[in-house]
Chains A and B, each alone.
Chain A
Amino acid sequence: MKLEDLRKIRERAAKELTLRTGKARVKVIVGMGTSGIAAGARDVLAAFLDEIGKRDLSEVIVTQSGERGLASAEPVVEVHEEGKPTVVYGNVTPEAARRIVAEHIVNGNPVAEYVIEVRE
C-alpha cells in the first residue's frame, strides 16, 4: 500500500464516521412518532437512506424525532442545512423522499409541492 491508497481508504472510511464526528452538512430528520409511523414514516426513512446510499452522499445524515403535533401532515420531514433556512416537508411519500434527495439535497432546490413550512 502506498500513501495514495491510504488516502483513498481514509476518504471512504470517513463517511462511515460522519454520524459520530458531527461533520454533516445536511441533516434530515424524519418524524417517527406513533402517527408518523402509522402514516408510513418507516418507508420514507428507508427511502432516504437508500437514495443517499445509492448516490454515495457523505456529509448527509438521516435521523429521527418524536411527534411534532402535525398529525394531519405526517409523515413530516425536516431538512436542516448549514447556513440555510430549515425546510419542513409534509405528507412525504417514499417517492417524494427520493425527489427531496435529488432536487433539494443534491441540487439545492426544495421540492415545492411538499413544503409546509420554512424556518429561518
Chain B
Amino acid sequence: MPKRIDVLICGGAACLSSHSDEVRAAIVREIEAHGLGKEVRVVETGCMGPCELGPVMVVYPDGAFYIRVSPQDAREIVEEHFLKGRPVQRLLWETPEARRIIEERKQVPFFAKQKKVVLANCGLIDPENIEEYIAADGYTALGKVLTEMSPQEVVEEIAASGLRGRGGAGFPTGRKWKFVADAPGSVKYVVCNGDEGDPGAFMDRSLLEGDPHAVIEGMTIAAYAVGASRGYIYVRAEYPLAIKRLKIATTAARGMGLLGEDILETGFSFDIELRMGAGAFVCGEETALIASIEGKRGQPRPRPPYPAVQGLFERPTLINNVETFGNIRHIILNGADWFRSIGTEASPGTKVFALSGKVINTGLVEVPMGTTLRELIFGIGGGIPDGKEFKAVQTGGPSGGCIPAEHLDTPIDYESLQALGAIMGSGGVIVMDEDNCMVNLARFFLEFTASESCGQCVPCRVGLPAMLEILERISRGAGRPDDLDRLEQLAETVQRASLCGLGQTAPNPVLSTLRYFREEYEEHIREGRCRAKVCTALVRYWIDPEACRGCDQCRRACPVEAISGTPGKPPYVIDEGMCVRCGTCREVCPFSAIEILDRR
C-alpha cells in the first residue's frame, strides 16, 4: 500500500542532541495509537540545515516545516495534522521579521535563497536506506561512467566542469585527477579527507551523515578515473554518527555489487576502508593525514613530492575533500556545462557553509559561488539578532580572515576572499557584531592554532606563541607602542617560513584584523580601552545608583562577594578590587542597573 504522508525527522547531530530521537519515538507511538501505521511513513534523515531550531521535521506532501518539536507535541501533530489535515500552526516555522506563518518549506527564505546540489538529498532521503538513494538517481552516475566512459573521459569531464577542491585551497579537481591518472605505477589509492578540523564547521559531517552514498559514489568514480582499487575515508572519531552511517552504507553498497569486486558486473573493482582520526587539526593537512592512515604520527612533510606522485604507502594517491567528492555524481549526470552554469567563471558550482555566530538563522546552507556575503548573512541568515550592528565576518575558520562591513558586497569565491586577506577554507562562516572585540577574536583563533601546531618546524612552533604573547599583552592593556609592528613582522615570517598550511595560514586572523580594525588595537594599547567591552582587564562594572532598587539579587549572585548593600536600601556598590568581571551580576539584575565601563 502506498503511503499518504512522509514524515522526515532530522537526524543530524544537532537535532539528535536536542532529542529528535525521542520525538521520533513519540510520533511513531502516536501513529500506531491512531491506527495510521500503514498510511504514514517516518524517516530519519540527515541534517536539514536550520540547526538552532531543532528538533526539526518536515511533513510531505504538504511540506509543512515544524521546528522545536517536543515529544509532548506528538499527539497533537498526529491527531490534527496527520489525521485531520490541519497543520499545527504553533509549531510551524515563523520568520523572525515577519512573524508570519509560512507553511511551505520552499517559501521559507532560509531555503528559498539556497541552491541545493551537494546537499539535495540531505534531509530528503533516509541515509541508512540505499534504495532511497538509488531512487534519487543514486549510483546512476557510476553506472554511466563504468559503461559509457573511458577513465580519460571522466577526468576530462571533471576538468571541464571547473570544479575546485572544497577542502580549502581550491585546487582544480580535474587537474589533480589527471596527475594521479598519469602517475606511473599499478597500485594507486583514493583518499577522502573527512577530518574537518575547523572547530566551527560541520559541512562534511552533515554530508557524511545525511547522504553517505554520495561520497562513496564520488570516490568510486574517482577510483575508476585514476586507476585505483583501494580507498580510505578518514573521519574524525568525534563523528560517531557519520561513522555508523558510512559503515551501513559501505556494507549495503557492497551487498548490492556497487562496491567491492566486479562493480555492476563491469570488471571494475574498488573497495573502501574507514579510518578514524584522533581529531588533531593538523591531521587534516593531506601529508599528515596520509601519515596518520599509515599508522605513523600525524605530521606534515614537505611537498613535493605531492601525494599525487608519492602518497599513501609511497604510491600515487588522490586526496579530495568530502564535499568535493559529493559534487562528482552531479557533474557526471548533468554535465560539465550545467555545472559551469552555476556559480562564477573561476569558481563554478555551489559551496556549503556552516553559518554561526551573531546571525539569526544559524546552520548549514548551500549557495552558488559568487553569492555575496551580504546575501548570505542578511538574506539567508536573516541578519543580526537583537538589533545590533554588524561588525565583521570571519570566513575560513581559525586560518581564515576577518572581513568588515565595507566589503559585504564581495562575491564569495576563492580569489575575492583571498584578495581581502581571508580564505574560503572549508566553509566556516562566523558573524560578529558590535559586541565582539577584534583583538580578542584574533587572540582566540591564534590560541587554537598555536596549540594545534605539531611543533615540527620552528616558525610555527616558536612564532605563533610569540604572537600570542603580544596579543595577550594587548588585551591586558599592557601593549607597547611597537607591538603592532612586531606582530606584523612575526606574522609575515611565520606565513612565509612555515612548513605546512597550518603555519602559513595561522597569522591570517591577526593580519586581517590589523588591516581592517587597526584602530581597535591602538585603542587597547594607547588608551587601555576595549570598545566592545570584552577584554576583562580593561573594563569595570558599575551599579547605576539611579536605577538600583536594592533587590539584593546581584549580591547573592556574585561568586566572589564583591557586591555590598542592604536589601531595600539602594544603591548597592561593587568593590572593583575584588570584582573578577565575570558579568553574572549584570545578567541577574532585573532593572538593567549594572553597566560595563572603561576601566580608565
Residues of A bordering B, CB below 8 Å? 1-3, 6, 9-10, 12-17, 19-22, 24, 27, 31-34, 37, 45-46, 49-50, 52-53, 57, 60-66
Contacts and interface: CB of A to CB of B under 8 A. Distances in A.
A22 B61 contact: yes
Contacts of B85: 31-33, 63-66
Most buried by B among A1, A57, A65: A1
Contacts of B82: 64
B560 to A, nearest CB: 56
A118 B291 CA distance: 70
Given A3-B264, A17-B125, A10 B4 contact: no
B84 A15 contact: no
Main secondary structure of the interface of A (DSSP, over half): helix
Contacts of A60: 2
A20 B6 contact: yes
A49 B39 CA distance: 8
Contact of B61 (A34, A45, A52, A61): A61
B576 interface: no
Contacts of A31: 85
A12 B2 CA distance: 12
B5 interface: yes
Interface stretch (B136-144, B168-176, B463-471): B136-144
A2 B266 CA distance: 8
Contacts of A50: 1
Question: What is the predominant secondary structure among interface residues of chain B facing chain A?
Answer: loop
Nearest to B264: A3
A16 B61 CA distance: 12
Given A49-B4, A50-B1, A53-B2, A19 B61 contact: yes
A61 B147 contact: no
Nearest to B125: A17
B56 to A, nearest CB: 15
B5 A49 contact: no
Given A3-B264, A32-B84, A15 B61 contact: no
Contacts, number: 99
Contacts of B39: 45-46, 49
Contact of A13 (B61, B135, B143): B135
A53 B137 contact: no
Contacts of A61: 2, 4, 61
A3 B38 contact: no
A89 B4 CA distance: 19
Contacts of A2: 264-265
B3 A19 contact: yes
19 contacts: A3-B264, A9-B131, A10-B137, A13-B131, A17-B135, A19-B6, A20-B61, A21-B124, A32-B83, A33-B84, A45-B4, A49-B1, A49-B2, A57-B2, A62-B2, A63-B61, A63-B62, A64-B84, A66-B84
Contacts of B1: 49-50, 52-53
Contacts of A37: 83-84
Contacts of B143: 3, 6
Contacts of A52: 1-2
Contacts of B136: 17, 21
Interface in B238-297: 256-258, 264-265
A15 B2 contact: yes
A90 B443 CA distance: 71
